[in-house]
Each structure stands twice: as C-alpha cells, then as structure tokens.
Amino acid sequence: MVPRFRAFLIEAKTMRDVVEIDFIENMFCLQVGKTNDGEWFFYRDLELMQSTGLKDKNGVDIFEGDVVKVSDGGNEEDSYTSVVKNYADEGYPASDIEAPSSWYYESNVLSTIMGGDYETIEVIGNVWENPELLEQANEN
C-alpha cells in the first residue's frame, strides 16, 4: 500500500489531498481543486492525516482524525461514534478507534469490524471540519 495523506489547512479551514512531501524543507504540496497542480505549505500551517488503507461501508477512505459511526448489524439505534487515531506514539503501531465498554472486541477494533460481516462503519466527518461530532464520540 502506498501511503496516502491529506491535510487540513488551519487558517483557511479547508481539507486538501497531499500531492508531494519535501522532508528536507518540512513542506507539503497540497492539491488545488481537482487539478494535479499544487501549492506548498509548511508543516506548522496544517494538520497532517494518514489514510488507514481501509474504506467505510460507502467506499470512503478512512483517515486519522475521521469521526466514524459503528452500527451493529445495520441497527441505527445500536451504534456508537468514535475518532480514528494513530497509536504509534503509544507503542501501538496502528490506527484504531476506542469502543464503549459495552462493546467487546478481542483485538484492534477497526480490524475486527473490517474483517467481520456484522458491524458496519461509516465516516460521518472529521475532527477539524466537524468539531461538534467530538461531543458524540466523547459520550461513548
């Protein structure tokens, strides 16, 4: 899998795909519109997110910072909301989500959901463009 990134521009409050990364200058070229053209930004001006390599039930790529809704067998009333996080800084080199204590998973929650055929996961927003969704996620 080729790593994919997107970035949220802090001042402009817009999300863009990352086209190129310059590790020496610590700069990122972000896509402009639907063209292959790019515009360069410093790391301090953006929030960088990596794709998990997974897709939700609608075929949408799941990135770090996405807010997802997990439903039990399609039952909307039996669901929870969580934020996709990368736990590498905590010694766990994977992206995952936190589940409420009433839901049981033997291992990585994202892997369990994606490998099963009962629960569904759907991207409903992200922490930068939809901060109101964080309240839902924190209620779990």
Task: Output the pLDDT for position 140.
Answer: 64
Contacts of 111 (CB under 8 A, 6+ apart): 94, 96
In tens, the pLDDT along 90-137 reads: 888 789 999 998 888 888 999 999 888 788 999 999 999 998 988 777
Q: What is the mean pLDDT of the chain?
A: 90
Of 30-34, 47-51, 62-66, 95-99, give the lowest mean pLDDT range.
Answer: 30-34
What residues have CB less than 8 Å from 64, skipping those under 6 apart? 49, 50, 52, 84, 85, 86, 95
pLDDT at residue 75 tops 80: no
- Collapse the DSSP code of 137 into the 3-class scheme (helix H, G, I; strand E, B; otherwise coil) and give the result: helix
Does position 14 have pLDDT exceeding 70, yes or no? yes
* 74 band by pLDDT with thresholds 50, 70 and 90: low
Please give the pLDDT value at position 116: 84
The reported pLDDT for the residue numbered 76 is: 65
What is the reported pTM?
0.88
